[in-house]
């Protein structure tokens, strides 16, 4: 690309004079002498090979060529300002902090790799993660208590969201559980056994209700809170549970847990943030998340 024959200082001088139509006033806004601005203008006209300004009493006015080029010059200068602003924002990431919220499933399977990539890119940024149910993360992001979140389930409509992947909930039991012997499981059969759930505060419970129908209300329920406690209880044989397929892959492969036949439930894994502009750290992390979303395939369902 050919190097331009003019400088940014000449460009700034021309724009200042075109806006004030006065050399001395333009010089004052630029903190330069009138002679310095006049010289910059002469060099700029010479570089372009065009007459851009002409005397008009005690001031100056744009020629036809000057008016035509003034808009392009302002756009060029704005592009340079955007470049400087972007560089400044990136320099700010040499320090700073980021508070992220994540549901347990997301904190275990969907956030770590993305967070590691960001930490490698911006090692000086202090990272903090809060692990709570999706509903709580939604509320805290909306209130501004945390910067952004990664959740399963529905984001609040007032938040900006981006789908990162999809998660699959499946029904599992210990291999020695009576349900494990069945080739077809009905709602009535599930109702005879204990359901191992998280509790009403967890978004997954709505998915489970849709999966198992009447059995959700008819089964004896043991509410255990954190999904890892549910997983441990299922492994121990305390009842049947609905868990993310990624959370029980090892147990399914070893045969400790058996997947029950029937419906599963796919849930979006979403990044959430407030819609208003945030600081450079949050903006950089959001860009990192959404870039990774387009390159990440959803987990493939197990047969």
The per-residue pLDDT for range 246-257, each reduced to its tens digit, is 999 999 999 999
Q: Which of 71, 92, 113 is the last residue of a domain?
A: 92
275 part of a folded domain? yes
Clarify whether residues 144 and 279 are in a common domain.
yes
State the CB neighbour count (10 A cutoff) for residue 15.
Answer: 17
Clarify whether residues 125 and 107 are in a common domain.
yes
Q: Which of 92, 107, 141 is the last residue of a domain?
A: 92
Clarify whether residues 252 and 120 are in a common domain.
no
Strands 265-273 and 221-223: unpaired
Q: Per residue in 6-48, pLDDT tens?
A: 899 999 999 999 989 899 998 999 999 999 999 999 999 999 9
**H or E element in which residue 190 lies:** helix 187-190
- Rounded average pLDDT over 218-229: 94
Residues with Cβ within 8 Å of residue 77, at least 6 apart in sequence? 8, 11, 12, 15
- The reported pLDDT for the residue numbered 294 is 53
| Cβ contact 272:149 at 8 Å | yes
Clarify whether residues 117 and 88 are in a common domain.
no
Q: Which residue has the tokens 């009493």?
A: 57
pTM value is: 0.66
pLDDT, the chain, mean = 89
- The structure tokens listed for 153 are 């389930």
300 part of a folded domain? no
Clarify whether residues 143 and 286 are in a common domain.
yes
104: domain CATH number is 3.40.190.10
Q: Which residue has the tokens 């005397």?
A: 55
Q: Which of 61, 92, 123 is the last residue of a domain?
A: 92
| Cβ contact 256:180 at 8 Å | no
Counting the structural domains of the chain, the total is 3
- The reported pLDDT for the residue numbered 263 is 81
Nearest alpha-carbon partner for 66 in 45, 40, 92, 89: 45
- The reported pLDDT for the residue numbered 43 is 94
| Cβ contact 174:230 at 8 Å | no
Distance from C-alpha of 35 to C-alpha of 47, rounded to nearest angstrom: 18
159 part of a folded domain? yes
Q: What is the CA radius of gyration of the chain?
A: 31
Clarify whether residues 171 and 225 are in a common domain.
yes
303 part of a folded domain? no
**Which of 256 and 82 is assigned the larger pLDDT?**
256
Clarify whether residues 196 and 183 are in a common domain.
yes
Q: Which domain holds residue 45?
A: 8-92
- Rounded average pLDDT over 162-187: 94
3 part of a folded domain? no
Distance from C-alpha of 204 to C-alpha of 191, rounded to nearest angstrom: 19
Clarify whether residues 258 and 170 are in a common domain.
yes
- Hey, which residues does 269 pair with through a beta bridge? 152, 165
- Hey, which residues does 101 pair with through a beta bridge? 130, 149
48: domain CATH number is 1.10.10.10
Cα 227 off chain centre by? 24
**H or E element in which residue 169 lies:** strand 160-174
């Amino acid at each position: 690309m050919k190097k331009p024959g003019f400088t940014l200082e000449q460009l700034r001088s021309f724009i200042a004079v075109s806006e004030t139509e006065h050399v001395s006033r333009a010089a004052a806004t630029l903190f330069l002498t009138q002679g310095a601005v006049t010289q910059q203008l002469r060099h700029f006209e010479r570089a372009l090979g065009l007459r851009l300004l002409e005397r008009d009493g005690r001031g100056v006015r744009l020629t036809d060529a000057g008016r035509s080029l003034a808009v392009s010059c302002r756009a060029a200068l704005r592009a340079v300002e955007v470049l400087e602003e972007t560089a400044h924002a990136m320099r700010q990431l040499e320090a700073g902090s980021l508070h992220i919220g994540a549901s347990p499933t997301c904190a275990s399977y969907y956030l770590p790799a993305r967070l590691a990539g960001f930490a490698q890119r911006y090692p000086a940024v202090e990272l903090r993660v809060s692990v709570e149910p999706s509903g709580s993360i939604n509320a805290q992001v909306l209130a501004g208590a945390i910067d952004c979140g990664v959740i399963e389930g529905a984001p609040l409509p007032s938040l900006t969201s981006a789908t990162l992947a999809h998660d699959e909930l499946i029904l599992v039991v210990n291999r020695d559980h009576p349900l494990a012997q069945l080739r077809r499981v009905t709602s009535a059969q599930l109702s005879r056994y204990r359901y191992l759930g998280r509790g009403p505060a967890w978004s997954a419970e709505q998915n489970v209700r849709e999966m198992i129908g009447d059995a959700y209300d008819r089964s004896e329920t043991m509410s255990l809170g954190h999904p890892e406690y549910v997983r441990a209880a299922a492994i121990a044989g305390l009842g049947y549970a609905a868990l993310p397929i990624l959370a029980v892959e090892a147990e399914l492969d070893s045969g400790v847990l058996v997947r029950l036949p029937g419906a599963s439930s796919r849930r979006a894994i979403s990044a959430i943030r407030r819609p208003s502009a945030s600081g450079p750290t949050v903006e950089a992390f959001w860009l990192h998340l959404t870039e990774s979303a387009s390159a990440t395939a959803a987990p493939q369902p197990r047969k």
